[in-house]
C-alpha cells in the first residue's frame, strides 16, 4: 500500500542546460487546466488505490514555485482535499527555485501544511550558474533561505551539483564553505550527468563542452563526503547528507523499494505491485484524464525476480545498506541464496562489505556505485 505521493509541476521560466526532466516553458501554457487535471488524477487514484494515510508528499518539477499565488492556492487546495496532509507528522516538501519565493508565497505554503523546502542551488559560483543556464545568483539563495526561516521553515534542503563544466576542486570547496554557513539541515549533492536531449549533450556532441576529468570528479566526491562529516552531516545515501532526524523520508521510500503514488505529466507510480508511467506531454496527459480519468501510458506488473533485483540496487544506495533479515522475511529466501556469487565478487573487489546483519557499499564502492548495482541486474 502506497504511503508516499510525488506530484509533478512541469513548468519552468528557464530550461537549465543539464535538465532532462519532463518540463515545458511556462509562458502560454494552460496552467489552471493542468492543475484541474491533476486534481482529477489525485481523486481517481486515491479512490482506486486507497491508503491508510500518507507519510510523505513531495512536489517536484519543473519548478513548482513558478505558480502564481492564485494557481498555487488552487493546487494546494486540491492536495488538501484529495491527499489530506492534515497530520503534522507528514513530511510535505516543495521544490523551490531561489528567487521565486516571495514572503507571501512562502506563508501560503506554510499555511497549507508544507513543512520542508528543497532549493535547487547547484553552486554558489555566479559564473558557473550562468554557464549551466540557471537564472538565480548567490545573493538570491541567501535571501530565499532568510525569508523561509522568517516564515518559520525549519526543514530546508539544498541541492548541489559538482563536476560542472570548468569547475575546479577549489571552486567546489568554496561552494561547500558557503553552504555550511547557511545552517540548513539537509544536502543532496550529485555529479553532473550529461543526458540526451539537453543543451549540454548537444554541446558535448560538438566538442564544445569541457568537463572535469574522472579523477577530479572522484576527488570532488571524496571532498564532499569528508567535509559533510566534518560539519556534522551524516551521509545516509550515496548523494544525501543530513543532520540527525532530517533525512528525506520521501526519498527513503524509493530506496527502501516501497510503493508510492505519482501524480502529474510524466510522473511514475509504484502501486499494488505495478510500475505505472504517466503520459509526459501536457496535451496527451490532459486528454487521457478527460477520456478515462487516468493518464497511464505504460503499466508493468513487477515480478518477484525484478523486486529482488530492485531491492539490491536501490537498497545499496543507502549508507546503512540492506538488512539481510528483512530481505529474507520479505521474499522467503536468503539474500545469499539468490545473489551469493555477485556479493562475493563485489566483496573481493573491495566494493561491498558485510556484517552479520547488513550488506553495504564500502567507501570505494560509493565511488563506483553504478558498477556494483549493474552486477545485480539480470541475474535471476
Q: What is the pTM of this model?
A: 0.95
Cα separation, 34 vs 285, in Å, equals: 9
Residues 326 and 229 in one domain: no
Distance CA 61, CA 227 (A): 29
Q: For residue 245, what is the domain's CATH number?
A: 3.80.30.20
Q: How far apart are CA 327 and CA 309, in angstroms?
A: 11
SS3 call for 263: strand
Mean pLDDT of 343-361: 97
Identify the burial level of 7 via C-beta atoms within 10 angstroms of its C-beta, where 0-12 means exposed, 13-18 middle and 19 or more buried.
buried
Q: Is 181 exposed, middle or buried (0-12, 13-18, 19+ CB in 10 A)?
A: exposed
- In a domain, residue 41? The reply is yes
The pLDDT > 90 percentage for the chain reads: 86
pLDDT digits (tens, 9 = 90+) for 298-313: 999 999 999 999 999 9
Query: 227 and 336 in one domain?
Result: no
Same domain (yes/no): 247, 321: no
CATH code for position 336 = 1.10.10.10
Q: Which domain holds residue 340?
A: 304-374
Question: CA 65, 67, 69, 72: dihedral to nearest 10 degrees?
Answer: -80
**pLDDT, mean of residues 314-338:** 96
Residue 32 inside a domain? The answer is yes
3-state secondary structure of 13: coil
pLDDT in tens, 154-207: 999 999 999 999 999 999 999 999 999 999 999 999 999 888 887 877 888 888
Residue 155 lies in a domain: yes
Question: Does residue 64 carry a pLDDT above 80?
Answer: yes
Residues 241, 312 within the same domain = no
pLDDT at residue 85, as a whole number: 83
- Strand 186-191 and strand 274-278: the pairing is unpaired
SS3 336: helix
12-21, 130-139, 227-236: which has the minimum mean pLDDT?
12-21
Whether 244 and 323 share a structural domain: no
* 263 inside domain: no
Could you tell me the three cell numbers for 248? 528525506
Going by C-alpha positions, the residue among 210, 255, 294, 245 that lies closest to residue 38 is 294
pLDDT tens digits for range 15-33: 777 676 777 888 999 999 9
Residue range 239-279, pLDDT digits in tens? 999 999 999 999 999 999 999 999 999 999 999 999 999 99
Nearest CA to 157 among 168, 166, 148, 167?
148
Contacts of residue 195, defined as CB under 8 A and 6 or more positions apart, other chains included, come to 18, 20, 201
- Residue 94 in any domain: the answer is yes
The answer to whether residues 69 and 173 belong to one domain is yes
Domains in the chain, number: 2
Amino acid at each position: 500500500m502506497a504511503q508516499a505521493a510525488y506530484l509533478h509541476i512541469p513548468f519552468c521560466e528557464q530550461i537549465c542546460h543539464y535538465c532532462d526532466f519532463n518540463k515545458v516553458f511556462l509562458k502560454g501554457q494552460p496552467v489552471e487546466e493542468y492543475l484541474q487535471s491533476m486534481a482529477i488524477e489525485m481523486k481517481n487514484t486515491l479512490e482506486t488505490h486507497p491508503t491508510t494515510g500518507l507519510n510523505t508528499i513531495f512536489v517536484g518539477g519543473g519548478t513548482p514555485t513558478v505558480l502564481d499565488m492564485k494557481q498555487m492556492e488552487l493546487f494546494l487546495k486540491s492536495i488538501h482535499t484529495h491527499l489530506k496532509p492534515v497530520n503534522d507528522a507528514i513530511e510535505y516538501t516543495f521544490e523551490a527555485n531561489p528567487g521565486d519565493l516571495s514572503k507571501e508565497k512562502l506563508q501560503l505554503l506554510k499555511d497549507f501544511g508544507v513543512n520542508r523546502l528543497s532549493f535547487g542551488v547547484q553552486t554558489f559560483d555566479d559564473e558557473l550558474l550562468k554557464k549551466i543556464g540557471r537564472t538565480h545568483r548567490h545573493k538570491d539563495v541567501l535571501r530565499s533561505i532568510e525569508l523561509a526561516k522568517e516564515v518559520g521553515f525549519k526543514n530546508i534542503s539544498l541541492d548541489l551539483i559538482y563536476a560542472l563544466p570548468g569547475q575546479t576542486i577549489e571552486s567546489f570547496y568554496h561552494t561547500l564553505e558557503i553552504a555550511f554557513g547557511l545552517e540548513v539541515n539537509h544536502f543532496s549533492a550529485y555529479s553532473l550527468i550529461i543526458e540526451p536531449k539537453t543543451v549540454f549533450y548537444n554541446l558535448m556532441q560538438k566538442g564544445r563542452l569541457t568537463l572535469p576529468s574522472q579523477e577530479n570528479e572522484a576527488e570532488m566526491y571524496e571532498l564532499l563526503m569528508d567535509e559533510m562529516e566534518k560539519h556534522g552531516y551524516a551521509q545516509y545515501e550515496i548523494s544525501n547528507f543530513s543532520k540527525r532526524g532530517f533525512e528525506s523520508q520521501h526519498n527513503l521510500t524509493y530506496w527502501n523499494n516501497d510503493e508510492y503514488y505519482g501524480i502529474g505529466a510524466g510522473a511514475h507510480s509504484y502501486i499494488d505491485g505495478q510500475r505505472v508511467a504517466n503520459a509526459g506531454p501536457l496535451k496527451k496527459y490532459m486528454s487521457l484524464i478527460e477520456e478515462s480519468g487516468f493518464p497511464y501510458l505504460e503499466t508493468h506488473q513487477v515480478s518477484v525476480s525484478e523486486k529482488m533485483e530492485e531491492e539490491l540496487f536501490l537498497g545499496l544506495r543507502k549508507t546503512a545498506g540492506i538488512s539481510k533479515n528483512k530481505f529474507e522475511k520479505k521474499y522467503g529466501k536468503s539474500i545469499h541464496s539468490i545473489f551469493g556469487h555477485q556479493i562475493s565478487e563485489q566483496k573481493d573487489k573491495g566494493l561491498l562489505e558485510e556484517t552479520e546483519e547488513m550488506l553495504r557499499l564500502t567507501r570505494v564502492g560509493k565511488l563506483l556505485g553504478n558498477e556494483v548495482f549493474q552486477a545485480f541486474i539480470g541475474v535471476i
